[in-house]
Amino acid sequence: MADVNITLDGKKLTAPAGTLLIEACKNAGIEVPSFCYYPGFSLQGACRMCLVKIEKVPKLQTACTTVIGEGMIVTTDSPEIHQARKSMVELLLGNHPLDCPVCDAGGECELQDMTFAYGAAESKYIDIKNHREEQQWSPVVYFDRPRCILCYRCVRVCGEGMDVWALGIQNRGVASVIAPNKEDHLECEECGMCIDICPVGALTSGAYRYKTRPWEMKHIDTTCTHCGDGCRTTLGVRRADTGIEIVRGDNRDKSGINGDFLCIKGRYAFDFVDNEQRIKQPLIRKDGRLTPSSWEEAFELIGRRFAEICGREGGRAIGVIGSSKTSNEENYLLQKFARVVLGTNNIDHHRTGDFPAFARALAGKLDATASMRDVFKAPAMLVIGNDPTNQHPLLAWQIRNNVRLHRSRLYVINSQPIKLRRQATAFAHIPAGSEAKLVALLAGDDSVLDVLVSENTPREALLSLRDRLRGEQNLVIIFGAELRGEEMARLVKVGSAVSGAKFVCLGDYANSRGAADMGLYPDLLPGYLPVTQGKTFREEWGGLPDAPGLTIPQMVDAAKAGQLKALYVVGANPVARFNIDPFAFAKSFVVMQDMFLTETALIADVVLPGANAYEKSGTFTNTCGDLQLLRKAGEVTGTKPDFEIIVRIAERMGFDVRKLVPFGGGMWADMGQSRGAQSGEADRHSVWLEAHGLETKLSPFDPMAILDEIQRLVPGYHVSRRTLLSGTDQHTRIGGPGILHNPELIVPANDDLFTSGTLGRYSRALNSVLENQRRKPVETEVAAD
Amino acid sequence: MADLVSHPDEVKIVSKRFGQGATDIDRYLELDGYKAVQKALGIGPDALINEVKNSGLRGRGGAGFNTGMKWSFVPKQSPRPKYVLCNGDESEPGTCKDRLIFEHDPHSVIEGVVIAGLSVESHVGYIYIRGEYRYLSNIMQKAIKDAYARGFLGKNIFGSGYDFDVYWHGGAGAYEVGEESALMESLEGKRGIPRIRPPFPAVVGLWGGPTIINNAETLASVPHIILGGAEWYASLGPPRNGGTRLFCLSGHVARPGVYELPMGYNLKKMIYEVAGGIADGRRLKAVVPGGASTPCLTAEEVDVPMDFDSLMKAGSMLGSGGVVVLDDSTCMVKFALRTMQFYQHESCGWCIPCREGTDWLKKTLARFHAGEGVKKDIDNIQYLAENMLGRTFCPLGDAAAMPTIAFIKKFRKEFEDHLEGRPCPFEKEGVVKQLPVFA
Amino acid sequence: MKLSDQFEQRFHAMINHYPTKRSVLVPSLLYAQDELGYLTDELIAEMAQRLDLTDLEIRNVISYYSMLTTQPRGKFNVQVCTNIACMLRGGEEILDHCKRKLGIGHKGTTRDGLFSLEEVECIGACSWAPAAQVNYDFHENLTPERMNEVLQDYRRKVHQQENC
């Protein structure tokens, strides 16, 4: 839109026509206060804090509801305006309880800040304040009416943002009160967005309330460890006897790919971290019982046994199972450990999406994947399968708000009436399991129509959907694990008929995509390179096994047959996930590292207490391929990051860890002149860091050292390190050539909003919500406004 | 049902058919009914708007905006349907005139709605009547039904080829809904929270379509203007204040009632001659000239013509035509309290200054009247009211603040007389006022 | 739920008067309340279902309008106006008189369920003050004596109905 000229506090400026005055002021560096205005949500004009003087208009006007006009002359501060704002604060304080010393929001309260800014110090009010008892609306949401200033942010974020509409306004006048949908309690997605967006302490979280004062915490931005969307969560941490305690998760810093969004898991389900069942000491099975031991003893045992087995039977007698919840660096290191130290391709992980087939389908295409940010901006979106509202909450938020704010067109194809259909321009309800047929239809094969047509979705609807899709541009195509193998190639072909089409392949866990990208496959090296074509890596690592290794089911069979002598499980729970007969590994030496004694511990000979993603640094790649930083927030004494554990095991096996992790620096640095695969690696790293003022102490346990190697060797990971380290997500391209796997190796996690695999089982917050739900009848979906 | 009064000075136009049995459609037709709309059908939109503009008719709901001007803001072309909305949510304390129109002359409102519709080429009108007026809703529903039966409403009205539908709509008790954008929200089945303006209803109104919203009396005046001509109507009142209006005299006057007098009629004359002066031989103390939200005039200030501009000059407003007369037995603190109690009860609660301000003022005034006031309360009341003024989301905040400021400024002495534990000097002996229990 | 034929007729006629369904909400709630005495949970659910709204939205609307209630009240709701015009002419005395006479306070209901009492804001009877409404009937130019008769009339009405 054309620019208009305005004058703000004497400064002549131009801004795009249609800009709200409050935004124009913000862009000009002038802060106009507000409680009710919140970018991206409907305008209220209720708090009257943003009153400004517009020349030729007699009354003060609200900057949040005024659209700038040509020649507008605005004064944003004057004695009159100051007095107006001060009086609003005084009026609010009339009934506000002033229990700031114990209020959760004390110290990060917008009302406190405004009171301070406008000097509303004198208490003119001497009558009795209105009072109402505090209410608990759900396991995680508490509401304190006296503190509420009725800015309606919570109502809007729940309705407009989340499409849940669980909050409303009851009564009128001074009796007005925010009300939950079930009179005295909430039935909702428990996302806690209402709490996060509350400018005061009216809405507080059951997980955090009365735990600490905000200024006692340090705030660490890191990446959520639950689903595959990769939200940034800010963890409030403080020192504790047992290390560093995570006290709060929220969305303080709105600069992540998730913007304003966080779901219940990102916000509250960090509490598995200090679950009392957490293992804090290595355990070694002695006389059939897992017995506490020292790290020393455990490493010695593992190193010796692994070395023995390798020496006697070769690496093929050892299987390695990696994780979708460990970092890229750990995954890369683990497969390198398997291939280089153990000398085996027997490495696999729990697969939830067919990324190798995706890589194969996109091989040779540039810019063919969409980032999480792209989803919010695309003019059109197609979602096939999955239920993003429950399984990919951030993705659903991006889709919904893209439709709401940018009028993007959404096409939904699903065998269930998923909630996103409410935002859809067109929704095709197809029979379960017919997603592949649907792709065929989109590709032009009308013979499949009969299978797809149903009462809900007539023939014409499907054909018109296809026509509409063909007419779109820059379409983002998102699909779940319903599509696998060859079908993906067909879908990509459909997409290539649409100019600028991009794809998102959905995987379920926080680093499912990263695990795939890093080559946790028996037949694929990092970057979806078949082991048979591993020339680069062979040269880099100085040799690696040629033949594809065993998948998890094959490992089980091998163990049963007595061929698999050892199993090394890092951050996974294959026994529960694949329903493995525990006796299959009776004769194998099983090492497992995890936070909890999961079902897999039943078969373990050594259990090592691992750290989780909140307790380590590194990177995660979300399901879209966005690379993001993990920063260490918490620490539980007695545990170690998986990275360190792997390195120590290699070291105990007598392996030169410098060949595993190219660390170095300082006066011992290899200055890049010597021979060897990693020559100069660490130095390039340190030179780079120094150049950017980011020098860290390098040790063999520093994941950043291996990130250098990843960035250099894994296609698509060659992104700006500086931008990454500054906390900004970097979109990676999916590498090729990829491969076709047996589609049955994909086992979707089927987690919903309140479950999160093993982590979820150990989260008090999630369990309390689940328990609360079990007590109530199933609620049907609510209509939108 | 309500008693009718009359006075020789009255110029009966809107009240012409009161007491004539005009709820009956045949009787209404005998009394020149539905002639105006037939004439209007032959005039054309622009000419209609000009006629109403030139008549000097100004909104009878309180704001006093030129009606023809308001209609002219409706865009000619609109992708969405246009609507006419009659505001019969009469709730301003002191006002009881629309009630008589609905009771005695419902067809004149229907006629006004249709003419307004013709002027902006709309095809649907709604007549919103407050919920308490159930018997009037019944009368209006019957009138609409009768008009449909005669072909005056619906398809091809009066054989003109023009379609126009009129529907009744009912409220359920909310003063705030009298505000035009809140009225639309209420009609759309929502809480009566005003809308952000601009856009104004003339451009974006009901369901997003351009909407004319007028008070019932305003619309009931329109047919008379069409029949009698703009010039005639304008000549009845002073410049820019055309016609007559229904004044609702109430309070301490000898002959309270609703009188139709020309605009600009002298207030003093209205009190002492038309309404028979102050009852029981008492003396005039103050007048609230246009409903509870208008600043009061003292006895010395009542020699003023009752039109929009003159009252503005006198520091008050003509408002809704509710003239509440107070004699010297009235405690102004109590009157201020009762006024504020009303606004506190009716505030929609949307914006801070109105929601918190009315509650705070009510509590302070209640304590004050009960003899628990402290000196700084008086300044605080004024400070609060002045800080509400002009800063609320809709005019309700102003409506609460303006009279309060006037009470303090004009009757400060009475406030001071309540100080230091002194009982209200106006309370009858033996009446012990309790401090309001915390609500 | 089963509502009277008259309600259904009104509801189905009204719903065609507007481009959106929810527009019928406020008048329909009042008509339903007239029949049921108050707005029951069942009715709220019914309206929500008919108008594609949530219960919460319906409750939010109900709680905004002073005539709508989700609490049962007496057969005759005595609403005494004490706003300025009525106050000047004795509205408060009428209210106090009713309180004494009925033995209940503001928003109270007599034990026999016959009367409820409510102090209300301006009902548009200023020129005939003081005034009260019993359900929808206006009673104007009241004195305590007149009020006694009014209450007595309603009592008599009930007795007559019971005797028939």
Query: Residue A762: which of A280, A141, A274 has the closest Cα?
Result: A274
User: Angle at CA B112, nearest 5°, toward B111 and B114?
Assistant: 65
Indicate if B121 and B93 belong to the same structural domain. Answer: yes
List of chains touching C (3+ CB pairs within 8 A): A, B
Query: Residue B357's domain is classified under what CATH number?
Result: 1.20.1440.230
Indicate if B310 and B394 belong to the same structural domain. Answer: no
Indicate if B61 and B184 belong to the same structural domain. Answer: yes
Whether A591 is in a domain gets the answer: yes
List of chains touching A (3+ CB pairs within 8 A): B, C
Residue with tokens 């007419």: A471
Whether C112 is in a domain gets the answer: yes
DSSP readout, A391-416? H-HHHHHHHHHHHHHH--EEEEEESS
Q: CA-CA distance, C132 to B335, in Å (whole number)?
A: 20
Indicate if A488 and A378 belong to the same structural domain. Answer: yes
Query: Residue A91: which of A110, A106, A108, A111 has the closest Cα?
Result: A111
Of A44, A59, A175, nearest to B390 by CB-CB distance is A59
Indicate if A315 and A412 belong to the same structural domain. Answer: no
Question: Which residues of chain A, if any, have pLDDT below 70?
Answer: 1, 664-698, 776-785
Indicate if C151 and C111 belong to the same structural domain. Answer: yes
- Say whether B172 and C29 touch across the interface (CB within 8 A): yes
pLDDT tens string C14-52: 999 999 999 999 999 999 999 999 999 999 999 999 999
Q: Residue A669 has what pLDDT?
A: 39
- Say whether A179 and C64 touch across the interface (CB within 8 A): no
Indicate if A309 and A410 belong to the same structural domain. Answer: no
Indicate if A383 and A456 belong to the same structural domain. Answer: yes
Whether B432 is in a domain gets the answer: no
Query: Residue B338: which of C131, C125, C83 has the closest Cα?
Result: C83
Last residue of a domain, one of C44, C64, C84: C64
Q: Which residues of A touch C53 (CB under 8 A)?
A: 783
Question: What total number of domains does chain A contain?
Answer: 4
Indicate if C100 and C127 belong to the same structural domain. Answer: yes
**Close Cβ partners of C75 (under 8 Å, ≥ 6 residues apart):** C37, C113, C114, C115, C158
Whether A671 is in a domain gets the answer: no
Last residue of a domain, one of A660, A693, A714: A660
Q: CA-CA distance, B181 to B394, in Å (whole number)?
A: 9
Indicate if A501 and A522 belong to the same structural domain. Answer: no
Q: CA-CA distance, A25 to B423, in Å (whole number)?
A: 53
Q: Residue A692 has what pLDDT?
A: 54
pLDDT tens string C63-99: 999 999 999 999 999 999 999 999 999 999 999 999 9
Q: Residue B133 has what pLDDT?
A: 97
Q: CA-CA distance, A749 to A391, in Å (whole number)?
A: 9
**Tokens for B325?**
């007369």
Nearest-by-CA chain A residue for C68 = A171
Nearest-by-CA chain A residue for B364 = A127
Indicate if B81 and B171 belong to the same structural domain. Answer: yes
Query: Residue C22's domain is classified under what CATH number?
Result: 1.10.10
Q: CA-CA distance, C127 to C110, in Å (whole number)?
A: 30
Indicate if A370 and A501 belong to the same structural domain. Answer: yes
Whether B191 is in a domain gets the answer: yes
pLDDT tens string B107-141: 999 999 999 999 999 999 999 999 999 999 999 99
Whether A735 is in a domain gets the answer: no
Q: CA-CA distance, A149 to A199, in Å (whole number)?
A: 9
Indicate if C95 and C60 belong to the same structural domain. Answer: no
Q: CA-CA distance, B9 to A9, in Å (whole number)?
A: 57
Indicate if B317 and B362 belong to the same structural domain. Answer: no
**Close Cβ partners of A326 (under 8 Å, ≥ 6 residues apart):** A334, A511, A515, A570, A571, A613, A642
Residue B430: pLDDT over 60:
no
Whether B63 is in a domain gets the answer: yes
- Say whether C59 and A166 touch across the interface (CB within 8 A): no
Last residue of a domain, one of C34, C64, C94: C64
**Tokens for B14?**
């809107």
Whether A71 is in a domain gets the answer: yes
Indicate if B200 and B281 belong to the same structural domain. Answer: no
Indicate if C91 and C140 belong to the same structural domain. Answer: yes
Q: CA-CA distance, A74 to A687, in Å (whole number)?
A: 51
Whether B3 is in a domain gets the answer: no
Please give the residue range of the domain that contains residue C124: 76-163
Asked if omega into A737 is within 30° of 0 (cis), the reply is yes
Whether A784 is in a domain gets the answer: no
Q: CA-CA distance, A174 to A171, in Å (whole number)?
A: 8
pLDDT tens string B5-29: 999 999 999 999 999 999 999 999 9
Chain A interface mutation, best of C63, C70, C107, C121, highest count of A Cβ atoms under 10 Å? C63
Q: CA-CA distance, A190 to A72, in Å (whole number)?
A: 44
Query: Residue A109's domain is classified under what CATH number?
Result: 3.30.70.20
Please give the residue range of the domain that contains residue B61: 25-235
b/e for A527-539, b at 16 or more Cβ within 10 A?
Answer: bbbebeebeebbe
Indicate if B270 and B144 belong to the same structural domain. Answer: no
Indicate if C116 and C143 belong to the same structural domain. Answer: yes
Question: What total number of domains does chain C contain?
Answer: 2
Question: What total number of domains does chain B contain?
Answer: 3
Last residue of a domain, one of A47, A77, A107: A77
Indicate if A339 and A361 belong to the same structural domain. Answer: no
Whether C105 is in a domain gets the answer: yes
Whether C71 is in a domain gets the answer: no
Last residue of a domain, one of B270, B305, B327: B327
Query: Residue A283: which of A269, A295, A270 has the closest Cα?
Result: A295
Instruction: Find out whether A526 and A706 touch, Cβ atoms under 8 Å.
Output: no
Indicate if A72 and A114 belong to the same structural domain. Answer: no
Q: CA-CA distance, B348 to A152, in Å (whole number)?
A: 14
Whether B426 is in a domain gets the answer: no
- Say whether B345 and C121 touch across the interface (CB within 8 A): yes
Please give the residue range of the domain that contains residue A566: 283-350+518-660
- Say whether C52 and A783 touch across the interface (CB within 8 A): yes
Indicate if C111 and C152 belong to the same structural domain. Answer: yes
User: Strand order in A135-136's β-sheet?
Assistant: A135-136, A141-143, A203-205
Asked if omega into A417 is within 30° of 0 (cis), the reply is no
Q: CA-CA distance, A167 to A152, in Å (whole number)?
A: 9
Pairing, β A289-292 against β A283-286 = antiparallel
Does A128 contact chain B (CB < 8 Å)? Answer: yes
Whether A553 is in a domain gets the answer: yes
Residue with tokens 């150049």: A691
**B208 SS3 class:** helix
Percent of chain C that is helix, strand, coil (3-state, to 5):
55, 10, 35
Indicate if A288 and A424 belong to the same structural domain. Answer: no
Whether C55 is in a domain gets the answer: yes
Chain C residues contacting A via beta carbons under 8 Å? 52-57, 59-60, 63-64
Q: Which residues of C touch B188 (CB under 8 A)?
A: 18, 20, 22-23
Whether C70 is in a domain gets the answer: no
Indicate if C122 and C84 belong to the same structural domain. Answer: yes
Q: Which residues of C touch B131 (CB under 8 A)?
A: 26-27, 30, 65, 67
Instruction: Find out whether A391 and A227 touch, Cβ atoms under 8 Å.
Output: yes
Mean pLDDT of chain B: 95
Q: Residue A674 has what pLDDT?
A: 44
Last residue of a domain, one of B235, B270, B300: B235
- Say whether A171 and C55 touch across the interface (CB within 8 A): no
Query: Residue A410's domain is classified under what CATH number?
Result: 3.40.228.10
CB pairs < 8 Å spanning B and C: 163
Of A45, A91, A172, nearest to B356 by CB-CB distance is A91
Query: Residue A17's domain is classified under what CATH number?
Result: 3.10.20.740
Of C53, C60, C63, nearest to A783 by CB-CB distance is C53
Instruction: Find out whether A641 and A292 touch, Cβ atoms under 8 Å.
Output: no
Q: CA-CA distance, B275 to C54, in Å (whole number)?
A: 52
Last residue of a domain, one of B200, B235, B270: B235
Q: Residue A684 has what pLDDT?
A: 55
Query: Residue A289's domain is classified under what CATH number?
Result: 3.40.50.740
Instruction: Find out whether A268 and A765 touch, Cβ atoms under 8 Å.
Output: yes
Last residue of a domain, one of A175, A205, A235: A205
Indicate if B171 and B311 belong to the same structural domain. Answer: no
Nearest-by-CA chain B residue for C13 = B167
**Tokens for A646?**
């792997």
Pairing, β A72-75 against β A61-62 = unpaired
Q: Residue A168 has what pLDDT?
A: 98
Indicate if C80 and C56 belong to the same structural domain. Answer: no
Indicate if A475 and A597 belong to the same structural domain. Answer: no
Query: Residue B286's domain is classified under what CATH number?
Result: 3.10.20.600
Query: Residue C87: which of C136, C115, C121, C117 has the closest Cα?
Result: C121
Whether A430 is in a domain gets the answer: yes
Whether C17 is in a domain gets the answer: yes
Q: Residue A496 has what pLDDT?
A: 87
Indicate if C59 and C89 belong to the same structural domain. Answer: no
Query: Residue C84's domain is classified under what CATH number?
Result: 3.40.30.10
pLDDT tens string C110-145: 999 999 999 999 999 999 999 999 999 999 999 999
Whether A511 is in a domain gets the answer: no
Whether C60 is in a domain gets the answer: yes
Q: Residue A685 has what pLDDT?
A: 57
* Neighbouring C-alpha atoms within 13 Å toward the C-beta of B328: 6
Whether B123 is in a domain gets the answer: yes
What is the amino acid identity at position A500?
G
- Say whether A124 and B383 touch across the interface (CB within 8 A): yes
Long-range contacts of A455-463 (CB under 8 A, 24+ apart): A456/A429, A457/A428, A457/A429, A457/A430, A461/A426, A461/A428, A462/A428
Query: Residue B223's domain is classified under what CATH number?
Result: 3.40.50.11540
Indicate if B317 and B196 belong to the same structural domain. Answer: no
Indicate if B205 and B109 belong to the same structural domain. Answer: yes
Rg (chain A; Cα; Å): 28
Indicate if A336 and A376 belong to the same structural domain. Answer: no
Query: Residue B435: which of B339, B337, B381, B367 has the closest Cα?
Result: B367
Indicate if A387 and A502 belong to the same structural domain. Answer: yes
Of B257, B258, B339, nearest to C84 by CB-CB distance is B339
